[in-house]
Amino acid sequence: MDGSEQRIDLGDAVEVSGELLPQANAVQLSVVRRSGERTTLTIPAADLQRLVPLLLLLGRALPQGGSDASTQLSLVPTDSLSVGELPGGETLLAVAVGPATVGFSMPAAAAEKLGRSLLLAGSEPSTVTSVQ
């Protein structure tokens, strides 16, 4: 990183907020550090499609830490959910979140479990169902 680049370290953030910029067709993130310094990051909508999978893949490569009781589940509202078959015989699960769509590849056995879980969740709304 050269001297003209400013590093955004979310590990040092005390607040991260975001807003839509409809005129620019972008999302703007505002990061406030412990020192009080604020950094703004603007992401064009076209780049959200690439950013979401990149963050998920990078996060997957990190060492898996044990989850503790203080870990909270972040809910992301989705616009649609699609299922299809990939050329290798795996199942494609595509989840649309705003302008971005994230595709997940899963073996047929996992898709079968997912289907059962979705049916159960639809019939028993108070029960949380997990597919692993």
No. of helices (H) and no. of strands (E), the chain:
2, 6
Confidence tier at 23 by pLDDT (50, 70, 90): very high
Q: Specify the higher pLDDT residue, 15 or 64.
A: 15
Evaluate the CA torsion angle 112, 115, 120, 121 in order and state its sign.
positive
Structure tokens at 38: 């604020």
Tens of pLDDT, residue by residue over 68-123, are 555 566 677 887 888 888 898 889 989 888 777 888 888 888 888 888 888 887 77
Tens of pLDDT, residue by residue over 27-54, are 999 999 888 989 899 999 888 878 877 8
* Ordered DSSP codes for 25-52: TEEEEEEEETTS-EEEEEEEHHHHHHHH
What is the value of pTM for the model shown? Answer: 0.52
Q: What is the pLDDT of residue 46?
A: 86
Q: What is the pLDDT of residue 119?
A: 84
Q: What is the pLDDT of residue 66?
A: 61
CA pair distance 48, 46, nearest whole angstrom: 6
Mean pLDDT value across residues 50-74 = 72
Evaluate the CA torsion angle 131, 112, 114, 105 in order and state its sign.
positive
